[in-house]
Chain A
């Protein structure tokens, strides 16, 4: 167990919420999951996931029960991560991870400033589109007293990462162009992700970003593409069986 978790344990650490509320099977208040969602839906619908009238409990309440250390927004809902939600995450974790990934900006779940201000600057924040640097009092890595928009100290500022697919897809086409990749497997994506994470320096982390700066995109793509090609060769050659489809 390279990462120290069984499949069931891995799932126990993963919760999904969509527009109908917490993703659970056998919940009379929500439609059944689509095929791709089913593997990640939980079996039991906890009582706290619904209010008395059957509507979904507010996100802050769900967070209060789940106590996630990582909150990822891919909802396209602007402002979904309100200060109460962010405070609820930060209440149980010293360095909560907040990724508000929907873009463009006017669809983002929260801004960098809200994330830092609602967590005493403790959040490890990243956005989907480009984020402006956020000035923070109290140093770039330590616990900050507050985030104020009118004080700017470049050394103490945070430069949130742009968690953007642009770090991956150009590497995929580059790997395919090498002639040694014939299908895109999850194992390859995993290797690509590990290669990308390995490029993040201590300096990057100190500046508050969990991916290389977008200026280093071309170098990052080279490293990710190499990892994809290596993983593809581990996967072995493409399936020799003939394609099966009707024309």
Chain B
């Protein structure tokens, strides 16, 4: 009896087990499919872009091209806000920009707090990574490395802004933490230019984004179907090569000279270029006395803002001054040295008499003491 009961019971258990396993399998497969879809960059990031642009286009059909009424701004904000992620929001903003630039100006100012993370860090990183996939893009001046004076002037002659305040120039070699993105770094220049205008109290077209196309060492990007830049390895500044051999510096120099002819003379803001390039351009501009102010945001901007934060933090640390703090900077690139540089004059240049004497004595710590740079020896 017992044996018979056993034999009747066993197959039923097996069936139950199989059914459970089956259910688990279905669940597992469903989860896997979901994960695959969620992680598929095409499904997740790229597909919503077309819909975002279409929604903006539909709304813009009812809005006169020159209108920037608050109602129109709010109508577009609702569309941008409804997008599934920051990249789609960026695509929607680009569609607004290309159709009605003054409306974008109103939109950015009205919702700056919510839109800054889209047009600037961190959202701009996505816009760079998927730049080729954006259905609409803000027009950006692309200057190929090796352009001569005439070519550069020709390109700049098409720039309408009567009073251009700043040019944001990038070659896309070190984009945020993402590395070499070539001309796909355009959103970096566009975003910084927009911030110059928004935070500096100027119209959007007072800041001009320019991409210097010096090729890219990102091989996968170079071979990408949607990559429109020079499909060549990167050209970089060459130290001690003479004016003609250093194509890169020569091109930037031509650009700087052409810009300096405008009235008023704009600022040349250099952004996200390679490590060596950033320092090299600052040094050359200073040594050759380029007739316009040159500013490297990664070196000088980072240095200044970190110093500000440190100065503000000193009272909370319980110390009397910044002098009592020991600073460890992790990262020897432009930002790291930029912080060290801005911090250095903080201690040296501003100090009076006694400090100057200290500088003439070989200090014990570093054998190769660098004197103050020429610009500060006044």
Cross-interface CB contact of B358 among A6, A15, A166, A211, cutoff 8 Å? A6
CB neighbours (8 Å) of B206 from chain A are: 177
Cross-interface CB contact of B321 among A3, A42, A67, cutoff 8 Å? A3
In the complex the two chains form, is B312's CB within 8 Å of A211's CB? yes
In the complex the two chains form, is B378's CB within 8 Å of A235's CB? yes
CB neighbours (8 Å) of B378 from chain A are: 235-236
Complexed CA–CA distance, A107 and B332 (Å)? 16
Cross-interface CB contact of A95 among B317, B326, B375, cutoff 8 Å? B317
In the complex the two chains form, is A38's CB within 8 Å of B368's CB? yes
List B residues 266-312 near A (Cβ within 8 Å): 266-267, 269, 275-276, 279, 286, 288-291, 293-295, 297-298, 300-312
State whether the Cβ of A150 lies closer than 8 Å to any Cβ in chain B.
no
CB neighbours (8 Å) of A72 from chain B are: 306, 327-330, 336, 339
Cross-interface CB contact of A68 among B178, B327, B343, cutoff 8 Å? B327
CB neighbours (8 Å) of A101 from chain B are: 302, 306, 335
Complexed CA–CA distance, A128 and B218 (Å)? 25
In the complex the two chains form, is A129's CB within 8 Å of B199's CB? no
In the complex the two chains form, is B370's CB within 8 Å of A39's CB? yes
Complexed CA–CA distance, A133 and B371 (Å)? 44
Range class of the A interface residue count: 35 or more
In the complex the two chains form, is A7's CB within 8 Å of B363's CB? yes
State whether the Cβ of A164 lies closer than 8 Å to any Cβ in chain B.
yes
State whether the Cβ of B77 lies closer than 8 Å to any Cβ in chain A.
no
Cross-interface CB contact of B328 among A12, A68, A245, A246, cutoff 8 Å? A68
Complexed CA–CA distance, A230 and B274 (Å)? 32
Complexed CA–CA distance, A117 and B126 (Å)? 29
State whether the Cβ of A229 lies closer than 8 Å to any Cβ in chain B.
no
Residues of B within 8 A of A (CB-CB), count: 109
For B317, give the chain A residue with the smallest CB separation: A95
Complexed CA–CA distance, A200 and B321 (Å)? 16
CB neighbours (8 Å) of A176 from chain B are: 165-166, 265-267, 293
State whether the Cβ of A113 lies closer than 8 Å to any Cβ in chain B.
no
Q: A186-B345, A193-B311, A246-B243 are in contact. Are A15 and B329 (CB under 8 A)?
A: yes
For A172, give the chain B residue with the smallest CB separation: B295
CB neighbours (8 Å) of B186 from chain A are: none
Q: List 11 A-B contacts (CB under 8 A).
A: A6-B351, A10-B346, A15-B327, A69-B325, A74-B329, A101-B335, A172-B295, A176-B265, A225-B200, A236-B378, A243-B291
Spell out A's residues near B (CB within 8 Å).
1-19, 23, 25, 34-43, 59, 62-63, 66-78, 80-81, 93-95, 97, 99, 101-107, 109, 124, 126, 128-130, 161, 163-174, 176-177, 179, 181-187, 189-190, 192-194, 196-197, 200, 204-205, 210-211, 214-215, 217-218, 221-222, 225, 235-236, 239, 241-247
